[in-house]
Amino acid sequence: MTKPSLIPTVLTLGLLVGVAPGCATAPSAQSNGPCDDFELDVDRIWGSSTRRSVRDGLRSFAGESQLVNVDRIVTKMDAITTDWVMMSRRSCKDTIERNTMPEEIYVRVSLCLNTALVQQRTLITALGEIDRTSYEHIDRAMLDISENIATCQNQAVLAYYRAPEETADAGAAETADQKTAEAKTLLALGKSEAASGLLNDAEIAAKKSGDERRTLDTAIAACNHAVLEGEYDKAIVYGKPALTQAQKLGYAIGEADALICLGTAELRRGDHEQARVRLESALEQREAFFGKEHPRVADAANRLGNLEAAVANYKSAHALYMRALDIWTRAFGPNDPVTSRAYHNLGFVHIGLDDIEGAVAWYQKAIEAETGSLGKDHPATALSEANYASVLLLQGKVDDAYALLNHAVEVQERILGPGHPEVAVSYHGIGEVWAARKGYETALEWYNKALTLRKLAFGDHHLETAKTLDAMAIAHFKLKKYKEATDLAEQALAVREELLGPDNIVTATSYFNLGLIYEKRKKFKDALGYYEKSLVVEDKVRGPGHVLTKQTRAAVNRLGDLVRGR
């Protein structure tokens, strides 16, 4: 028995947004052929009146001072629409006119492209109801749609899910695709609460469809939702079976996406070794599937760079961030908000590399790009300012740092809310300013505010929590409250030893600080032990000629003579 043609089947079923692709509709009077009317499909979603309405709404929200940002968003949406039409027309002609694409593949390409159309419709609806959360993440949502369009043909070739008429329930399959696409866009916009109901509906519909591939896609979306909510254990519960299923199906894109979600959740939870396994595998998978120069490869490299930076492997992080920067610059330009993430990350890495001038240059570049593309009152700009302030403090520019932090915290509290973990960065920074001014009591007030947020966001056993505990220990030390200082420093050390191990330069910071504290308490033998531990790491990582290594060696020699003399 001959299998029936699949293109008429698509005509019968329709598509996810209630319109059919150009190949599946009768050509209009103005069309030259069946593959020439795709503009009609996207015009229903992104026509001139919708474009004008969105532009006016964004201008009203962002203010006339950010008109360039509105133009950038509208221009990107135009480009997404153009790419959708181009990809749709090409696959249609490959099937109808050139006969180079099998009908089965074309059906799958069309399904994929129409999920992108659902995503675009969802984003446009959100732009019509713009708020601070969605404004912050518009670029991420647009990037997600663009990458979906760009990979549709490859996804179709590797697809293992059945054609709609072969599923147990074609209507459920259509519902699962639509709900998952809508949820993905809302997640990209940071609207996790709005995505929750859609994900539940998608999961039910995917199971009803009898299609493993759709069930897998909903599980990965649920994993990303849990990460956004800060529920990392829940993300792992969704991510692990999704990874296993993707590997069983040979679904390369799904496997990489599951690895990315799992690796991100494990990194946030502080499980660095397991996160490394996931993120390295995700980078390899995306390289193999997309090629080494694709933006999704840059995303994987950037996430692996975040891991390396967290564990103080600054040279490795630098190489990964530079790779991401190179790809993003060529794909999106040097001033795009996606590209500016790499500038920000490179600023942090150069602090770790003891290159303060380099850190200054990268943070200034990040702030310039983000101010130009997002505006000075955007959370991304504020976060770069808060981190740049830490560099200014190292340069002794305390007042300049304080001014930046005050602006950053005002933006973050107003837009993100006072309980957001990024606000903790500014709170901690203001604590550092007061510590530099020797106002240790005031510094402790700000550190306490930062600690509360970090414990809520990350828990007790996290490097960000340990960073604030360590700063509080030093403030208590300066106030000669040595018992409190000891307790806090030991808490910070316990976290760092657990997450980084005893041979990490960040852990060595805790060893040195405890040496200082115990020396002041005249417990010289304990102090010497901590100084010696710090020196072993510093000699290896910083080198014996580094000024901080010399300082630690002097402490070891001084206390060594004192302890032996007793």
Put simply, whether the predicted model's pTM sits higher than 0.85 gets the answer: no
pLDDT band at 29 (very low <50, low <70, confident <90, very high): very low
Domain interval for residue 489: 476-565
- What mean pLDDT do residues 239-266 have? 92
Query: Tens digit of pLDDT for each residue in 105-134?
Result: 888 888 888 888 999 999 988 887 777 666
Cα angle 294, 300, 306; round to 5? 140
The Cβ-side half-sphere exposure at 494, using a 13 Å CA radius, reads 9
User: Does 492 fall in a domain?
Assistant: yes
Mean of the per-residue pLDDT values of the chain: 86
CB 28, CB 37: distance < 8 Å: yes
CA distances 317 to 199, 311, 345, 348, 391, Å, are 34, 10, 9, 10, 18
Is the predicted pLDDT of residue 168 greater than 70, yes or no?
no
Tell me the per-residue pLDDT of 418-429, one tens digit each, with 9 for 90 and over: 888 899 999 999
Does 109 reside within a domain?
Answer: yes
pLDDT of 549 over the 60 cut:
yes
289-293, 400-404, 482-486: least confidently modelled range: 289-293
> Is 362 a residue whose pLDDT tops 70?
yes
> Looking at the domain assignment, is residue 512 inside a domain?
yes
Q: Which residue has the higher pLDDT, 407 or 105?
A: 407
Q: Is residue 432 part of a domain?
A: no
Last residue of a domain, one of 161, 189, 207: 161
Give residue-wise pLDDT tens across range 323-342. Answer: 999 999 998 889 888 899 99
Contact (CB, 8 A) for 191 and 134: yes
Q: What is the mean pLDDT of residues 530-557?
A: 94
Q: Does 133 fall in a domain?
A: yes
Predicted confidence at residue 15, as pLDDT, reads: 30
Final residue of a structural domain among 111, 129, 161:
161
Q: Using one digit for the tens of pLDDT, what is the confidence trace for 496-505?
A: 999 999 999 9
Please tell me which residue, 290 or 28, carries the higher pLDDT value: 290
Two tokens at 443? 């510094």
Q: What is the CATH classification number for the domain harbouring 491?
A: 1.25.40.10
Asked if residue 67 has pLDDT above 80, the reply is no
pLDDT at 10 over 80: no
Whether pLDDT at 4 is above 80: no
- Per-residue pLDDT tens digits for 450-491: 999 999 988 899 999 999 999 999 999 999 999 999 999 999
For residue 68, the model assigns a pLDDT of: 60
pLDDT, average across residues 1-16: 29
Residue 248 lies in a domain: no
Domain count, the chain: 2
**Domain boundary, last residue among 114, 145, 161:** 161
Percent of the chain's residues with pLDDT above 70: 89
Residue 56 falls within a domain, yes or no?
Answer: yes
String of b and e for 46-58 (b: at least 16 CB within 10 Å)? beeebeeebbeeb
Is 44 part of any domain?
yes
